[in-house]
Amino acid sequence: MTEDILISTEPATGEELWRGPVGDVDAAVSTARRAWAAWAARPLTDRIAVLRVFANLVRRDGEVLAELIAREAGKPLWEARAEVDAVVAKVDISVQAYAERTGKKKFDAGLNGSAAVRHKPHGVMAVLGPYNFPAHLPNGHIVPALIAGNAVLFKPSEKTPAVGEALVAAFHSAGVPEDVIQLVIGGPDQGKALVGHPGVDGVLFTGSANAGIAINRKLAANPGKIVALEMGGNNPIVVIDTPQLADAAALIVQSAFASAGQRCTAARRLIVKASMFDDLMAELVPLTRKLMVGDPLGEPQPFMGPVIDNETADRLSESFVALMTAGGRVLLHMRRTVPDLPFLSPGIIDVTDVPDRADIELFGPMLQVIRVPDLDTAITEANNTRFGLSASLIGGGPDDYGRFWANIRAGIINWNAPTNGASSKAPFGGIGLSGNHRPAAYYAADYCAYPVASTERDQPRGTIMVGMRP
C-alpha cells in the first residue's frame, strides 16, 4: 500500500492488476447505519428476490469473474470457475437455511395467549474476507447477512481487492442498495477500525488464527457485538489399512495440494500407519511429482497456480528448510519453479523424528508425514494440535471410523474423503484455534439474526393472586 492507494498485483506475472483508494471507515459505517433499517423493513420475499437476481447476474457473467479470480488469486481457471459456481449456489442454500434455522414459529400458550419466536437482524455487519477464496468465502457471510436484513461493510483481503469490487458491483446491479452493501478497501488498519467501531454490530471474519485471536481479544469486553471467526487448521489426514493405495494417494493430493495448499481445510499432516508407509509413498510421491504447476490461465490447465505472493513463497521455503534442518527427511523437495515469482512445487517431508514439531498452519503446498504404529496412536497424534477444523481417515472399517469420529477434535470429520471440499449444505467451522463455535456455511443464518421470544394476547389480561392485603 502506498499512502492512501492500495495496489493489487497478479501473483503469476507480478504485474499490476488493480489500484484504488483506501476506504473511509467512519463514513461507510455512518452511511450503513442510516440505510440498514429500511432494508430490514422490506419483506423477506423482496430481499430474497433481489439476491436471486444477484445469482443470475453472477451466473451470466461467470467467466469474467472466474478470470478475474484466477488472475488476482493465482488459482487455475478451472478452480476459479468452481468458485463462481459456489457463489451462485450460495443464494438458494442460504434461503433454505434461513427458513429452516431462523423461520417464524408460533404456538398456543393456553390462557397466556400465544407465544412466538421470530428473528431480527443485528444491524451493520463487517465482513472481513480472505484471499484464497476471495468471492466464495466472503459471499458465504454476505448473502445470509443480507437475507436476514443486515447492512454489510465488506473489506476484502488487501491482496484481492479487485474481486471484492466485482462482487459488490454485482450486488448493486442486482438491486441491493449501494448504502446497504459497501466496499471498504484497505489493509489491517481498516480491518481493525471496522472491528472496533461502535457503529458495527457484528464482525464476520475468515482468515488466519493470529488475526482471529486479535479480533477476539479486541472484542472480549463487548459481548453485545456478534463475532463469527472462521480460521485455519493444522489438519490431519490419517491412513491405516487399505488395499486402495492409488485412491488413498489421490485423496491425499487433493487434500494437501488443491489451491496450492491455500485452503483452511488443507491437510497439513499425513499420519500413516508405519506398515503402510513404504507402499503408500510409492504411490503418493510419483503422483505428486506429476502435478502441473503453472500459469492459472495457461493451457493445458495446471493443477496448481502460484501461492499468493513472493513473501508467502519465501516463508514457506524457509519453513521447509527449517524442518529439514531439524531432522526431517525429504520425500519430495518443494522448490521455487519460476525465478522472482511465487510458484512452488509441492513438497513432502517425513517429520517423524523432528522433536517438538511446531503446531502452526503452513499455508501452502507442504505436507508433513508422521509414521505411527496403530490407529490409537494416530488419533493421539492427530489431536496433538491447538486447531480443530478438519480431519480425515483413509482406510479401515466402520468400527475404525467410529472410533476415529468419536475421538477426533474437529468440526469436519471425513472417512475415505479429502479433508477439504466441505458441502455448503452443512455447517462449516472448527474448534480450538479454528473457530469460536459459530460455524459458517449452512449455519451462517444463526449468526446473522438473533431470536426474539414473545408472549402475545389480543387484549391485556392480568391478575395478582398472592400477597395482597384484604
Q: Is 364 helix (H, G, I), strand (E, B) or coil?
A: coil
Tell me which amino acid residue 7 is: I
93 grid coordinates: 442454500
Q: How many angstroms separate the CA atoms of 180 and 121, rounded?
A: 13
**70 within 8 A of 297, measured Cβ to Cβ:** yes
Q: Which residues pair with 391 in a beta bridge?
A: 413
Q: DSSP of 199-213, one letter per residue?
A: T--EEEEES-HHHHH
Q: Which residues pair with 86 in a beta bridge?
A: none
For cell 523432528, the residue is: 354
**248 within 8 A of 460, measured Cβ to Cβ:** no
For cell 488395499, the residue is: 243
List strands edge to edge, sheet with 181-183.
Answer: 181-183, 151-155, 124-128, 202-206, 226-230
**296 within 8 A of 341, measured Cβ to Cβ:** no
247 grid coordinates: 485412491
Tell me which amino acid residue 463 is: T
- What count of Cα atoms within 13 Å lies in the side-chain half-sphere of residue 451? 13
Q: How many angstroms separate the CA atoms of 22 and 1, rounded?
A: 9
Residue among 72, 79, 158, 230 flagged as catalytic: 230
**368 within 8 A of 329, measured Cβ to Cβ:** no
66 grid coordinates: 472466474
In the annotation, is 448 catalytic? Answer: no
Q: How many angstroms separate the CA atoms of 347 and 329, rounded?
A: 11
**364 within 8 A of 317, measured Cβ to Cβ:** no
Q: What are phi and psi of 238, to 5 degrees?
A: -105, 130
Residue among 72, 79, 165, 264 flagged as catalytic: 264
Active-site annotation, residues: 230, 264
